[in-house]
Structure 1
Amino acid sequence: MRSIMHVAHSVSRLHLLLPFALPTAASAQPALQDLDKPALDRLLERATLVERVVGDDFQRTLPHERWIARCFGVGHAAAPAASRQQADDAASSERAARSAAATDDDAPLAPYMLLADGGEPRDAVWACVEPVHVQVAHDHLVLIEPATLQLSTDDAVALLAVARPLIEALGVEVAAPTPLRWYLSGEPLGSLASAAPLRAAGRNIEIWLPHEAHTGRRPRTWMKLQNEVQMAWFEHPVNQAREARGLPAANSIWLHAQGRMTPVSQPFKHVLSRAAATRGLALASGAALATPPATFDRLQQQAGGQTTARAAGRGTAGVTLVELDQLSTPFVQQDWPRFRAAFAALERDWFAPALAALQRRELAELALTLCSDTGTTTLVVRPIDMKKFWRRRSFASLLP
């Protein structure tokens, strides 16, 4: 994984991206029961709504993937830069809230993931392929959340050694700069529509399997490859050993995020993320790259000191993006006690100190992009907004 581990800069304009932070209204009661989040609530009360994108349950990509792709100008329309929006009055906020429902389901992120993993995308179509576990239900197949597979590096290497010749026999190039995530290259991949693993996880995989984007037909070549890999792995020693330990077998492969690398914009000067797609986009844009620290205070320490909002100014410093994905796995697994614990940690480690920094005018601007499993909501708050006591937006009002 390519990274720049120490990024020295003063953080005056901060954007927090929070995948899976907004449960559905139906899940809100178990997800948020007894959750104390006064700092986040205060930030949301005073913030200006910049953009609200309403997706649907049948989009094949994830909302935070679409958001990050649009920010960097990948895919179709570029997203508005949330931290640069001027929407301080209620009417502008209301217009932002009525943003049209998203029809764009484009997030061709595989070449950028390959770049982040240490590969060379070149001018070619790439798709990401990951080993997965597919479970047999009563009358259908269900994709298990990928994090539960817990595949070791050695096991992944052994499984790839079996799958690689099957893939290459189809005339498809294979790149595996990291054993746990592989990449296939071939022009026919560019015509497929596929789903992110976390989109299909826990669901009947029938409608989420790759198909030809223009005809809806299943690609025979991919179906043949998937079947051959499944058979080759069925009694593989790796899977036999895993099942003996009570672990799920790696019994299939999942293709997603296919596309060709294109030039990107640079919406952020500094990017801190563990997600391969976000890291690859940062590398392609020339942004400084690091992994997120554990806390906001640690971010400020790494930045080499604090800068007052007055000194920083809105136009003299770049935006720092921090992607905090602690909520993703418990959300997808619907492990609500774990979800609440992760949310409480974000409140303690990020929201509360960021609120304090705004109040002390050490932050000129804080943007929040909160994602559900279908859409995104972006808000921005500045020190002057903390005095706007008449604003009363609630967290519940943002739930899909």
Structure 2
Amino acid sequence: MSHITLVLPYLLPLPEFAPDLVRALQTPALASLLSRTGAHERAPTPDNGRALPHEQWLARELGLAADGRPAFAAAAMRGFGLDPADGTWFIVNPSHVQIARSHSMMADLRHLDLSGEDSRALYEAARQLCDEIGHPLLYGDAQTWFLRAGDWAGIDTATPDTVVGMDLTDFVPRGKQALPYRRLQNEVQMAWHTHPVNAAREARRQPAVNAFWLWGAASGADKRATRRIAGIEVPGWISGLSDQTYASLDELDGLDGLLGQDGTVIVGSLAESAIAADWGSWMMRVQHLEQQLFAPLHAALVQGRVKQLRLVLSSREDLAEFTTSAMAQRKFWRRPTLERLA
């Protein structure tokens, strides 16, 4: 038997859409998991303006927070086989910034579709500029790099999903420590502007990779994250924190790989739809979760293969936790409902 924590960012819909979406969903297993519980709690997450509720929760759970900000860089580096032996490291995400008439904003990194080959080419161009100022840049995967910059440790940065679609004016790092970073950003942008990778992307009508986002500062001396984590459809930095990763729910092929021992499962399949406010696509993905995850987990609970299941759900503003078990699922007098999503 096992204790599983299932983290589902964006399963809480925004309040203005929640009543209609909850009525339209046909997810009886999820309804049972949310209604027949031993404990549940929902509250707005303190808004630090720099991380979303599920990111703040994960930082607290793993002991990877610094001054209220997620400090994931060093732990994620270890997951990629990199050694953050000394200094302060940041996560670096190559990105696309859109320039509007009155502001600029960063596109969802999930839409970048950056191949490993193209990423490596852009990385090498940026690495040379970083080396020139004494800040090593290391490669994790196509969308996840790492920069050592101890003298930038006080920069107040935000996570990419906090920033996406928002006015970047509110999030661009400021202050004396941020000046060298912004100078490097400008130099990298100029190097990438004429890079063959972006010329080819433009020919394919793909967005240019014209910026990078810096966040997640952590000391190389910070402790490792010891909790067992499985990531499903998650960004690269969560992959770095994970012992197992799956590109999609369909790769699971049953729950046997998840049920062998205690651990946390993070499912990122709702993020793209929710960020884009594409609620039709969001509903389809929730229905897929019902078939591939909620129904099998509910069956495993009832059969005693899972001793306890904790669900951690979030929106951009709120976080909710539900704890259930085989005993709780026997509370037949509690009508299964999705009202707690609203």
Is TM-score (shorter-chain normalized) higher than 0.5? Answer: yes
| Matched letter for residue 381 of structure 1 | T
The answer to whether 1:263 aligns with 2:223 is yes
Instruction: Show the counterpart of 2:170.
Output: 207
The answer to whether 1:20 aligns with 2:10 is yes
Q: Which runs of 5+ in 2 are unaligned?
A: none
CA shift, 1:223, in A, is 1.1
The answer to whether 1:55 aligns with 2:9 is no
Q: Give secondary structure in 1 for the equivalent of 2:10.
A: coil
* 2-structure distance, mates of 1:388, 1:327: 29
Task: State which of 278, 285, 288 in structure 2 corresponds to 1:342.
Answer: 285
CA shift, 1:387, in A, is 2.8
Percent identity of paired positions between Structure 1 and Structure 2:
31
Instruction: Show the counterpart of 1:290.
Output: 244
Contact 1:127/1:189 (8 A) holds in 2: no
> Alpha carbons of 1:106 and 1:49: their partners in 2 closer, same or farther (altered >3 Å)?
farther
CA shift, 1:291, in A, is 2.5
Task: State which of 223, 238, 241 in structure 1 corresponds to 2:197.
Answer: 238
The answer to whether 1:299 aligns with 2:255 is yes
> Alpha carbons of 1:131 and 1:57: their partners in 2 closer, same or farther (altered >3 Å)?
same
> Alpha carbons of 1:225 and 1:302: their partners in 2 closer, same or farther (altered >3 Å)?
closer
| Matched letter for residue 45 of structure 1 | S
Contact 1:63/1:374 (8 A) holds in 2: yes
Contact 1:72/1:281 (8 A) holds in 2: no
Listed as ranges, the matches of 1:145-294 within 5 Å are 145-212=108-175, 219-261=178-220, 262-264=222-224, 266=226, 268=227, 270-274=228-232, 275=234, 276-281=236-241, 289-292=243-246, 294=250
The answer to whether 1:381 aligns with 2:324 is yes
| Matched letter for residue 290 of structure 1 | Q
> Alpha carbons of 1:175 and 1:264: their partners in 2 closer, same or farther (altered >3 Å)?
closer
The answer to whether 1:46 aligns with 2:2 is no
CA shift, 1:183, in A, is 0.8
Contact 2:255/2:296 (8 A) holds in 1: no
Task: State which of 54, 58, 69 in structure 1 corresponds to 2:59.
Answer: 69
* 2-structure distance, mates of 1:21, 1:380: 16
> Alpha carbons of 1:302 and 1:149: their partners in 2 closer, same or farther (altered >3 Å)?
closer
CA shift, 1:225, in A, is 0.9
Instruction: Show the counterpart of 1:128.
Output: 91
Q: Which runs of 5+ in 1 are unaligned?
A: 1-10, 77-103, 283-288, 305-317
The answer to whether 1:36 aligns with 2:26 is yes
Root-mean-square deviation (CA), in Å? 2.6
| Matched letter for residue 125 of structure 1 | T
> Alpha carbons of 1:198 and 1:291: their partners in 2 closer, same or farther (altered >3 Å)?
same
Contact 1:271/1:279 (8 A) holds in 2: no
CA shift, 1:176, in A, is 1.4
Q: Give secondary structure in 2 for the equivalent of 1:209.
A: coil
| Matched letter for residue 127 of structure 2 | R
Q: Give secondary structure in 1 for the equivalent of 2:146.
A: strand
Contact 1:22/1:370 (8 A) holds in 2: yes
Aligned residues: 337
1:215-248: per-residue Cα shift (whole Å, max 9, x none)?
xx67110111111111222222211221121111
Contact 2:28/2:336 (8 A) holds in 1: no
* 2-structure distance, mates of 1:360, 1:109: 36
Normalization by structure 2: what TM-score?
0.89
CA shift, 1:42, in A, is 1.4
* 1-structure distance, mates of 2:152, 2:74: 12
The answer to whether 1:117 aligns with 2:80 is yes
* 2-structure distance, mates of 1:227, 1:54: 37
